[in-house]
Amino acid sequence: MLRGNRGKIHSHLIKAIRILEDAGDTQSVLYGSALFRLGKVELAKGREKKSIEYLNKAIGSLEEELDPTHPVALSAHQFLLQAYEKVGMKEEADKHCRHIASVDPETGEGEPVAIYRTMMQYPASAMFAGQEGWVVVNFTIDDHGNVKDAEVIDGKRQKTSTKSALEALEQWRFRPGYVDGKFVERTDQRIRMVYELAD
C-alpha cells in the first residue's frame, strides 16, 4: 500500500511543480516545498541522483524566501546530506553538514544528535541466541561532523554487538561544533546504542 501511495504522491508532486513552473512561480515557498517533498520521495525510492537534483533546486528556491534556520530549509539540507552519503559523495555531504551546523549550532551540552545515521546490524549470533543488549560509546565528532576515535566504554554486550555498534556509528554524521565562526571538534561525546529483538 505504501508503494502505491508513494507513486501517487510522486505523480501529484510532478504535476504541481509543472503548474508552478508554467506560471513562472519558481522562487516561492510552495515551489521549494514541492521540490523538497519530491526529493524526499525520490530518496525513499532509492533514486539518490534524482533526489539530489530536486533537493538542490528546493534549497535554491527555499533560501530565497525563508530564513536559513527555518525547519524546512534545514531539513532539505539534511536530506541532501543523506543522498550524498548514499552515493559516496562525502565532500558534498560535508558542505551540507557544515551548513546545518553554521546556521543552527548546537550548544555542545547533552547527548549529540545525529543528522545522518545508518542502522546497526543486529549480530546474527546474538539474534539466534535471543540475546539483547546495549553499549555506551565514547567518540569525537570532527570538524566535518564525522565520527572518530570511537570506543565502547560500558554496556551489556557480546563481542559481535560491540563491533556492529562501532561500524554503524562510524558511518553516522553529527553537527560539528561551531564556535566564533569556526568549525571545531567535539570531544568526549557519548551515546547509548541498544540492540533488541522485536516483539
pLDDT at residue 108 in the model: 52
Tell me how many domains the chain contains.
2
Instruction: Check whether residue 94 and residue 127 sit in a common domain.
Output: no
Instruction: Check whether residue 17 and residue 51 sit in a common domain.
Output: yes
Mean pLDDT of the chain: 86
pLDDT at residue 125 in the model: 76
Domain residue limits at 68: 2-103
Which range has the worst mean pLDDT, 58-67, 94-103, 138-147, 159-168?
A: 159-168
Instruction: Check whether residue 44 and residue 122 sit in a common domain.
Output: no
pLDDT at residue 1 in the model: 39
Give yes or no for residue 39 having a pLDDT over 70: yes
d(CA 120, CA 134): 11
Instruction: Check whether residue 86 and residue 43 sit in a common domain.
Output: yes
Instruction: Check whether residue 79 and residue 121 sit in a common domain.
Output: no
In 11-131, DSSP assigns E strands to 114-116
pLDDT at residue 49 in the model: 96
Instruction: Check whether residue 53 and residue 135 sit in a common domain.
Output: no
Question: pTM here?
Answer: 0.79
List, as one string, the DSSP characters of 107-149. -S-SS--EEE--PPPPPHHHHHTT--EEEEEEEEE-TTSBEEE
Maximum average pLDDT range among 14-18, 102-106, 195-199: 14-18
Q: Helix-strand-coil percent breakdown of the chain, rounded to 5?
A: 50, 20, 30
**pLDDT tens digit sequence for 111-121:** 677 889 888 88
pLDDT at residue 81 in the model: 94
